[in-house]
Amino acid sequence: MEPKILKVKNGDVTKTINEFLKELLNSGKVHSLLVPQAVPSKKMVFPVLISDSNQLNADVFAPLLPASTARIISKMTKFQATKEPIGVVLRSCQIRALVELVKLNQANLENIIIIGVDCLGTFSIDSFVNFSEGKTPTEFILEAFKEKGNSSDKYLRSACCVCKDPIPTNADITIGVYGVDLDKEVLIDVATKAGEKVIEDLKLDDTKSVKEREKSIKTIREEKTKKRTEFVKEKRSINGIAALSEFFDKCINCHNCMTVCPICYCKECLYDSSVFDAEAYKFLRKADRKGLFKMPNDSLLFHLGKMNHMILSCVECGLCEQGCPSNIPLMDVFIPAAENAQKEFDYHPGKDPEEKIPMIVYREDEYLEVGEK
């Protein structure tokens, strides 16, 4: 299906999209929508599950990712697929996370309509809540995007600064802004039969050309890829036990990075269990051997264990970094590690639901013996 467009009314993109979503909800094609929307205090935007179109006031471009939307969908669909369709509005990183969770049997996409949104990036919770540029963060980032205001780069989370895939893949419907004149229109790109069915009754205009969009996407990808390459190059020096120990010095062992990670799906994390508790004499023996050691003594092991478990599926959403109360810049190690590990297995998390997790794929030539190459 050719991409469609929504005409923007009064230059208010957010409102235009809200009307589109409202129409969608009213059409009965979806029972509910999961959308980012301001909480009553208006300070924060959170995903809300909404079935009453009158209460819909989505803020789809709000530059904030307070929690993993993918994980929310996992919680709703893991036991049983939803019988009634739900439209879920997701950023590209959360769609990727959702695809990974599906591969891991932790989510079921039956009757889930993914509505992806071109991502303009997100701010830290602090920047968002205490935003002081005299306008809302959403207004600010949209103006920055239209090159009518100051750049939003300084507010972007580091994950977003170097995100090379802000355009949704695997969405049934994509709300597109790259390469689109936002003063006039928003792109509605439908990629699947399920998506087509959902919008079939809605009145949308045909688009004239997507060339501009393709060019814009190419540019943004190139720009971000370049930034990411520089980032990876710069951060690669954090390597080896000594450097990593120093990097995690500030860790208070709260395990919040694991709690907020969309991929970490274990019921109980091994590192939260009593496996590492032991009788005092063992600690004393270790003290004898080493003279002294830091307590709690399993924090580096936790981080390496977590990395080992999920690095191949890491979608680089940066929620771990955002969740760290000690402000450890976790992306500094996770992005280079993800880059290396995923390249080694030629694996692209979240890109293709059919691509198997490397853990379950046997290739004769992977990880050759030392000297075999």
Partner 1 sequence: MAKKSDKIGAVAVVGGGITGIQAALDLADMGFKVYLLEKSSAIGGVMAQLDKTFPTNDCSMCILSPKLVDCARHVNIELFTNTEVQKIEGKPGNFIVKALKKPRYVDMEKCTSCGSCEEVCPIKLPNLFEHGLSDRKAIYKLYPQAIPNAYVIDKEGDGKHRGCVNCMKCTDVCEVGAINHDEKPENLKLNVGAVIVATGSQPFNPVIKPEFGYKKYQNVMTSVEFERVLSASGPFEGKILRPSDKKTPKKIAWVHCVGSRDKSVEHEYCSSMCCMYTAKEAVIAKEHDADIEPTVFYIDIRSFGKDFDKYIDRAKREHGLRYVRSRISEIVENQKTKDLVIRYEDDSGELKEETFNLVVLSVGLCIAEEQRNELIGRLGFETNEFGFVYTNPDDPVVLKPGIFVAGSFLEPQAIPESVMQASAAAANAAALLKDVRGTLVKEKQYPAERDVSGEKPRVGVFVCHCGINIGGYVDVPAVVKFAKSLDDVAYAEANLYTCSEDTQKKIVNAIKKHNLNRILVAACTPRTHEPLFQKSLRDAGLNPYLLEMTNIREQCSWVHMDKPKEATDKAKQLVAMTVAKIRFLQPIQEAEIPVTQKALVIGGGIAGMTAALSLADQGYETALVEKEQVLGGYLNKVYYTVEGIEIDQLLKETVEKVQKHDIIKVYTGSSLVSLNGYVGSYESEIKTPKGTANFNHGIIVVTVGADEYKPNSYLYGKNPQVFTQSELEKKLSECLPEDIHDGETFVMIQCVESRDEQRPYCSRICCMQAVKNAIRIKELNPRAEVFVLYRDLMTYGFKEKFYKTAREKGVMFLQYDAEKKPIVSANDDGLVVKMFEPMLQRELRIPVDTLVLSTGLQPNLDNSVIAQMLKVPVNDDGFFLEAHVKLRPVDFSTRGVFVAGNCHMPKFIGESIYQAQAAAARAATILAQPKLAAEPNIAVVDEDMCSGCKLCISVCPYNAIDSVEEKINGKTVVRARVNEGLCQGCGVCVATCPSGAMQQRGFKDEQILPMVEETV
Residues that bind partner 1 (CB under 8 A): 79-80, 104-106, 265-270, 273, 275-276, 278, 281-282, 285-286, 301, 309-310, 356-357, 359-360
Q: What phi, psi does 313 have (nearest 5°)?
A: -100, 0
C-alpha distance from residue 9 to each of 12, 14, 23, 142, 311 (Å): 6, 10, 15, 15, 43
- In the complex, the smallest distance separating the C-beta of residue 116 from partner 1, rounded to whole angstroms, is 25
- In the complex, the smallest distance separating the C-beta of residue 50 from partner 1, rounded to whole angstroms, is 24
CB-nearer residue toward partner 1: 155 or 265: 265
- In the complex, the smallest distance separating the C-beta of residue 73 from partner 1, rounded to whole angstroms, is 16
- In the complex, the smallest distance separating the C-beta of residue 270 from partner 1, rounded to whole angstroms, is 4
Q: Strand 4-7 to strand 185-190: parallel, antiparallel, or no bridges (unpaired)?
A: antiparallel
- In the complex, the smallest distance separating the C-beta of residue 91 from partner 1, rounded to whole angstroms, is 24
**Tokens in use for 124?**
């830290």
CB-nearer residue toward partner 1: 44 or 357: 357
| Contacting residues for 136 by C-beta, under 8 A, at least 6 apart | none
- Cα 31 off chain centre by: 24
CB-nearer residue toward partner 1: 50 or 263: 263
> Would you say 283 and 290 are in contact if contact means Cβ atoms under 8 Å apart?
no
C-alpha angle 206-210-213 in degrees, rounded to nearest 5 = 130
CB-nearer residue toward partner 1: 203 or 267: 267
- In the complex, the smallest distance separating the C-beta of residue 88 from partner 1, rounded to whole angstroms, is 21
CB-nearer residue toward partner 1: 218 or 282: 282
- In the complex, the smallest distance separating the C-beta of residue 87 from partner 1, rounded to whole angstroms, is 24
Amino acid of residue 117: V
| Closest C-alpha among 157, 159, 191, 161 to residue 176 | 191
- In the complex, the smallest distance separating the C-beta of residue 268 from partner 1, rounded to whole angstroms, is 6
CB-nearer residue toward partner 1: 100 or 118: 100
Backbone conformation region of residue 28, classed left if phi is above 0, alpha if psi is from -120 to 50, else beta: left
Residues paired with 179 in a beta bridge: none
**Angle (deg, nearest 10), helices 13-26 and 137-145:** 110
- Per the listing, tokens 């809300």 go with 48
Helix residue spans in the chain (DSSP H):
13-26, 69-77, 92-103, 125-129, 137-145, 158-161, 193-199, 211-235, 240-247, 256-260, 280-290, 299-310, 319-323, 331-344
- In the complex, the smallest distance separating the C-beta of residue 23 from partner 1, rounded to whole angstroms, is 35
Q: What is the DSSP letter of 7?
A: E
- In the complex, the smallest distance separating the C-beta of residue 267 from partner 1, rounded to whole angstroms, is 5
CB-nearer residue toward partner 1: 41 or 80: 80
Instruction: Name the 3-class secondary structure at 178.
Output: coil
SS (H, E, C) 325-356: CCCCCCHHHHHHHHHHHHHHCCCCCCCCCCCC
CB-nearer residue toward partner 1: 10 or 274: 274
- Per the listing, tokens 């949704």 go with 168
Cis upstream peptide for 349 (omega within 30°) = no
